[in-house]
């Protein structure tokens, strides 16, 4: 295209003032505000000018088309980046999908805390400043029999704070078999180094004895740290000292025995047909001076790091300046308090009725219930043209670095659309609102019903109906 033609086309582009004064723009201004509409119009005009100069187009665009493009841009920008997903992967604690969905009681507590002022650090009885932790620490002590408790923003932060306050600048002794990577390339040795403490490795990958710890103790030793391998297992020819052995050694040498439990279960999972995981109560009853764990894994609450144990040690953590950088906000504390209150009736938390914790209910859901769900979804999908549907047996997983060996039997719904390839089908379902995320295997898209609520079956069916069209009618 010649320079003269380009210049002529550029001159024909409407001025932004003319576009903002267009009667078609009035509705956009009413919906989004004048400043965002101006920004969207200018962005579209800039893109058209670039296209004309580079030869990507050779014609001026009418005002109506520019306004329509700006409207589309504003609509896309208005869609939240974080939006609801139907998790049909079968991975209950799916880190990429936000881990634990909260119990209805916790959701209500977060809503109430977000909508108004609250007595976060205000004592209503005395009218003076109070502690932001008072609503949860009492519950944690009640449920676990700990002397004292503290909450920070995740379990890595809990370990970091404890090491910084109690082991730095001395040494923390850890078994080589427990130097785990906790996800996202974050490793226990890195956390120890960041705390200012020095790591002392003892034993071997598969065998560590109490005598290994004893021989490594020196004048700078401050802590014996035990890390539960919640995201992996070493099996076979293995040895590890018991908690009571480590506690006895720490007590005899005036050291601190601390255990990072990772997942943080408050109930016996084996009672619900799941692999046994050490509970916080078991660690404390064995004498561990401090125990840390997550709030958003097996506990089923919000992201948080829980620290429980001796009152004198917790007091030192509360006095450490790092605590302010790691403290939790009112929404987390509200959700955690509501979740912990459900554990006052532990017989109900893994059920499906009032007082249940969703994570535990999904993990413990019996196969006949999942089969019935799968049959209903198959019925909803049966009449979609070009779609084949079958039921399969499969295995789900806890996820989130939890119960690494627990393949939990489940029921899968497998679909194949004749008009759309399986990868494109999965993409279209992810683009739906709400997004539907399954997984691909053997050229089929599969939905695991363990992580799907009853109310979401119709949403999956609606998403499949839209996605299986040869030309989807405007992905919602």
Q: How far is CA 96 from the centre of its chain?
A: 6
Q: Which of 347, 330, 349, 329 lies closest to 339 in space, CA to CA?
A: 349
What is the Cα–Cα distance from 122 to 113, expressed in whole angstroms?
A: 14
The shares of helix, strand and coil residues in the chain, as percent rounded to the nearest 5, are 45, 20, 35
The ranges assigned to domains in the chain are 3-78, 85-94+364-467, 104-342
Q: Where are the beta strands (DSSP E) in 378-460?
A: 387-396, 408-417, 435-437, 439-441, 444-448
What is the Cα–Cα distance from 448 to 90, expressed in whole angstroms?
A: 5
Residue 408 pLDDT: 86
Topology alike, domains 85-94+364-467 and 104-342: no
The answer to whether residue 476 scores a pLDDT higher than 80 is no
Residue 475 pLDDT: 47
Buried b / exposed e over 373-386, threshold 16 CB at 10 Å, is bbebbbebbeebee
Domain 104-342 class, CATH top level: alpha beta
Residue 4 pLDDT: 65
pLDDT tens digit sequence for 296-340: 999 999 999 999 999 999 999 999 999 999 999 999 999 999 999
Q: Which CATH number fits domain 85-94+364-467: 3.90.1150.180, 3.30.565.10, 3.30.750.200, 3.60.70.12?
A: 3.90.1150.180
pLDDT tens digit sequence for 92-108: 999 899 988 999 999 99
Residue 398 pLDDT: 82
What is the Cα–Cα distance from 122 to 145, expressed in whole angstroms?
A: 26
Q: Provide φ and ψ at 378, rounded to 5°.
A: -60, -40
The runs of H, that is alpha helices, within 227-279 are: 243-253
Cβ–Cβ under 8 Å, residues 405 and 274: no
pLDDT confidence bin for 399, thresholds 50/70/90: confident
pLDDT tens digit sequence for 167-215: 999 999 999 988 887 665 678 899 999 999 999 999 988 899 999 999 9
Buried b / exposed e over 91-113, threshold 16 CB at 10 Å, is bbbbeebebbbbbebbeebbeeb
What is the Cα–Cα distance from 336 to 101, expressed in whole angstroms?
A: 12
What is the Cα–Cα distance from 233 to 49, expressed in whole angstroms?
A: 60
Residue 58 pLDDT: 64
């Amino acid at each position: 295209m010649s320079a003269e033609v380009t210049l002529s086309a550029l001159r024909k582009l409407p001025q932004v003032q003319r576009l903002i004064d267009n009667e078609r723009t009035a509705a956009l201004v009413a919906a989004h505000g004048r400043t965002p509409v101006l920004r969207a119009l200018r962005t579209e005009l800039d893109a058209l000018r670039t296209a004309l100069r580079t030869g990507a187009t050779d014609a001026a665009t009418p005002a109506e088309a520019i306004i329509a493009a700006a409207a589309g841009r504003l609509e896309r920008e208005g869609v939240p980046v974080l939006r609801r997903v139907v998790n049909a992967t079968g991975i209950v604690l799916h880190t990429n999908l936000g881990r634990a969905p909260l119990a209805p009681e916790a959701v209500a507590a977060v809503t109430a805390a977000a909508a108004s002022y609250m007595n976060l650090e205000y004592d209503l009885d005395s009218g003076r400043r109070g502690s932001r932790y008072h609503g949860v620490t009492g519950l944690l002590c009640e449920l676990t029999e700990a002397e004292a408790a503290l909450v920070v923003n995740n379990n890595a932060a809990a370990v970091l704070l404890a090491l910084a306050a109690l082991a730095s600048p001395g040494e923390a002794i850890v078994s080589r078999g427990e130097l785990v990577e906790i996800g996202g390339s974050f490793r226990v040795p890195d956390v120890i180094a960041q705390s200012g403490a020095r790591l002392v490795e003892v034993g071997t990958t598969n065998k560590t004895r109490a005598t290994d710890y004893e021989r490594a103790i020196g004048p700078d030793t401050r802590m014996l740290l035990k890390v539960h391998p919640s995201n992996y297992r070493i099996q076979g020819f293995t040895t590890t000292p018991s908690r009571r052995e480590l506690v006895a050694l720490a007590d005899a040498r005036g050291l601190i025995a601390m255990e990072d439990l990772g997942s943080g279960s408050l109930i016996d999972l084996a009672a619900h047909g799941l692999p046994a995981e050490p509970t916080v109560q078991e660690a404390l009853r064995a004498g561990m001076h401090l125990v840390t764990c997550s709030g958003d894994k097996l506990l089923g609450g919000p992201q948080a790091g829980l620290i429980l144990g001796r009152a004198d040690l917790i007091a030192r953590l509360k006095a450490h300046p790092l605590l302010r950088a790691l403290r939790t906000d009112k929404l987390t504390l509200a959700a955690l308090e509501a979740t912990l209150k459900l554990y006052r009736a532990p017989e109900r938390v893994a059920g499906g009725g009032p007082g249940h914790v969703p994570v535990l209910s999904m993990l413990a859901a019996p196969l006949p219930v999942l089969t019935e769900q799968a049959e209903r979804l198959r019925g909803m999908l049966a009449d979609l043209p070009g779609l084949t549907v079958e039921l399969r047996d499969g295995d789900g997983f806890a996820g989130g670095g939890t119960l690494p060996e627990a393949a939990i039997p489940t029921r899968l719904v497998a679909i194949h659309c004749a008009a759309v390839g399986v990868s494109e089908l999965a993409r279209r379902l992810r683009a739906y609102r709400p997004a539907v995320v399954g997984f691909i295997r053997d050229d089929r898209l599969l939905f695991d019903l363990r992580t799907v609520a009853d109310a979401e079956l119709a949403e999956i069916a609606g998403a499949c109906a839209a996605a299986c069209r040869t030309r989807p009618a405007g992905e919602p």
